[in-house]
Structure 1
Amino acid sequence: MINHKIKVLDVIKIALEAGKHILDVYHSNNVTVEYKNDASPVTIADKKSHNYICQQLSKHYPNIPLISEEGDLPNYEQRQQWHTAWFIDPLDGTKEFIKRNGEFTVNIALVEKGIPILGVIYSPAQDLMYFASSWHGSYKLSNCHAILPTIHHEFELIKTAQQLPINYSNEAFSIVVSRSHFSSETQAYVDQIQQQVGDVHIIEAGSSIKMCLIAEGVAQIYPRLSYSMEWDTAAGEAIVMYSGGKVEEYGTQSPLQYNKEHLKNPFHIVTAKPNDNLVIARFIYK
């Protein structure tokens, strides 16, 4: 284990600064959109965030390799020798960024032996930071631009942030779904839940914010029955997992694995920590 060498506060401040680079582009009048080989969009904001994050992580932790959506992927023969690696999505929710709806994030995760042990997700437009580690638990921090410059030690960070899940008193059962990747399989899954348990509240959201809503307790379940990659989910899985929730492969209930030969995720279901106040929770989690 290398967690004693990793400072979550370092990673949080890197994500915060990357968010500033993204917002500089977001608030400009000219956002040029290019398209990669898989037809997914990419902007200069993705690239600026990628360059900054990789530079800073390499400076702080030169012995830990990196995998970023916008970087070159080392071959599997090399990667399978790695004990630990950073997984980075420098701008998750590029489609939401282009739509200018604010639902985009910076995702940074540390994966050890195929399991996320640290995750940081920053929403620049909302100035919200979600973070988690196997040694601290899972937390949410608001008003980051004002608060984080005043925090210099990990114990201050933990004392200032809200531990997840936050206990909401609402009695409605909520499902969060992807705003830009809503598939026919997702619709069928939602229909099945509604048939079995009655009306549910549907929340649409973009990027890894969906996983943060699960960890926070705003929603109880998030079916991801569409395309995603390991860098899309690693940070969010850490935040969900260390809040008491689960991320499991759809149909098998197996945990997701990271740094596979092929980095595409299987379809999966994200569930929040069970809430005894919701009768429906006992059905979903049994």
Structure 2
Amino acid sequence: MFPADLRVCLDAAIEAAVTAGRAIMDVYAASAYGVELKSDNSPLTEADRAAHSVIMNILEQTPYSVLSEEGRSIPYTERRGWNPLWIVDPLDGTKEFIKRNGEFTVNIALIHDHEPVCGVVFAPVARELFFAAAGVGSFRVDNPSSTAHGELCRKGLRLPLAGRGEDALVIMGSRSHSSPEFAAFVEKVREERGKVEIVPAGSSLKICRVAEGAADMYPRLGPTMEWDIAAGHAIVKFAGKKITSWKTGDELRYNKEDLLNPWFLVQ
């Protein structure tokens, strides 16, 4: 059974994502901002910290625990009993943030029984808001003026949108994480299907483009963590599409003992 307060949680997630987006933009708009390195040498910015603080302040008002990159060291023996739980990435696409190309997002998902039951993805530069939940559906809202999902549903676009009417198969690719395996996959699809268009993008926007119907698929043939994709998975799921394991074809699950995702395909 889904959490009884699912729609209340959706409103909280939207408020957290949009408010965190404002905090990120305060840093992004500054003439200079600090960049540090995490222990794995990936960049950590002032914006990460500001967004994380905003999100925690809002989600801590709900009864559910929060798992994010900052909590990756929490023992599985502790978090395996978190059900439901939030899975959060305060700034997905930090490299895109540093490159200043605008392709970064705030990702917030609510997980129940290892599956996403609601999710929010917000792109602060483009002011694109994607949100979804069981019993609600999946939506995109441009320039949101509210954080109440009911009002946003009336103003937004239900996903997926109408078909593109094009003959080329559109495959999303990572802006910063290409691989030989991805190139081989694209070549195989091109041989089978003919015309193929590759569209690069950063962060979970790649998943959202498949959800809205702007792209046909997104293969991720490289490492990602649960917080990178949980929110996007909800957007895809409630738009009638799937994220499945490259190896087994099973839909991905969350709050696993190992927080690393397998290679996957969104379609």
Please give the TM-score of this superposition, normalised by the length of structure 1: 0.89
Following TM superposition, by how much is the alpha carbon of 1:5 offset from its aligned partner in structure 2, in angstroms? 1.0
Aligned to 1:274: none
Within 2, Cα distance between the matches of 1:106 and 1:204? Answer: 19
Is the 8 Å Cα contact of residues 116 and 233 (structure 2) preserved in structure 1? yes
Q: What residue identity is the alignment partner of 1:164?
A: L
Structure 2 match to 1:157: 152
1:35 to 34, 37, 40: 37
The letter for the 2-side match of 1:161 is G
How far apart are residue 142 of structure 1 and its match? 0.5
Unmatched runs of 5 consecutive residues or more in structure 1? 272-286
Q: 2:13 aligns with which of 3, 11, 14?
A: 11
Structure 2 portions without partners, runs of 5+: none
1:71-150 map, 5 Å = 71=71, 73-144=73-144, 147-148=145-146
Helix, strand or coil: the match of 1:265? coil
Q: Indicate how the Cα distance of structure 1 residues 157 and 4 shifts in structure 2: closer, same or farther if over 3 A, else same.
A: farther
Residues 17, 68 of structure 1: CA spacing in aligned structure 2 closer, same or farther, 3 A cutoff?
Answer: same
Shift of 1:262: 1.3
Q: Distance in 2 between matches of 1:83 and 1:11?
A: 17
Q: 1: CA distance between counterparts of 2:153 and 2:12? A: 14
| SS of 2:18 mapped into structure 1 | helix
Question: Structure 1 CA distance, aligned partners of 2:72 and 2:114?
Answer: 20
2:267 aligned with 1:264: no
SS across alignment from 2:118: strand
1:193-225 CA deviation, whole Å, 9 max, x = no partner?
111111211100000000000000000000000
Query: Is the contact between residue 3 and residue 135 of structure 1 (CA under 8 Å) also seen in structure 2?
Result: no
Counterpart code for 2:78: Q
User: Which digits, 9 at most, give the CA deviation of each residue in 1:136-184, with x for residues without a partner?
Assistant: 010000112xx21xx6x54322211110000133312100000001111
Q: Select which of 38, 48, 51 maps to 1:49.
A: 51
Say whether residues 1:22 and 2:18 are aligned partners: no
**Cα distance per residue 1:88-136 (max 9 Å; x no partner):** 0000000000000000000000001110111000000000100000120
Deviation at 1:2, TM superposition (A): 4.5
Question: Aligned partners of 2:2 and 2:198: how far apart in 1?
Answer: 40
Structure 2 CA distance for aligned equivalents of residues 97 and 156 of structure 1: 30
Shift in Å at residue 40 of structure 1? 1.3
Letter in 1 for 2:250: S
Please, what TM-score do these two structures have when normalized by structure 2? Answer: 0.95
| Contact map agreement 2:12 2:58 (CA 8 A) in 1 | no
**Cα distance in 2 between the residues matched to 1:70 and 1:48:** 13
Q: Aligned equivalents of 1:138 and 1:73: distance in 2?
A: 32
> Counterpart in 2 of 1:278?
none
Greater Cα offset, 27-36 or 175-184: 27-36
Deviation, 1:3, is 3.4
1:116 is paired with a residue of what secondary structure? strand
Aligned length: 264
Residue 184 of structure 1 aligns with an amino acid whose one-letter code is P
Q: Which residue of 2 aligns with 1:182?
A: 178
How far apart, CA to CA, are the structure 1 residues paired with 2:188 and 2:2?
43
Partner of 1:197: 193
Which amino acid in the other structure matches residue 13 of structure 2?
V
Which segments of structure 1 move beyond 4 Å, counting only runs of 4 or more?
Answer: none
Q: Does 1:238 align with 2:234?
A: yes
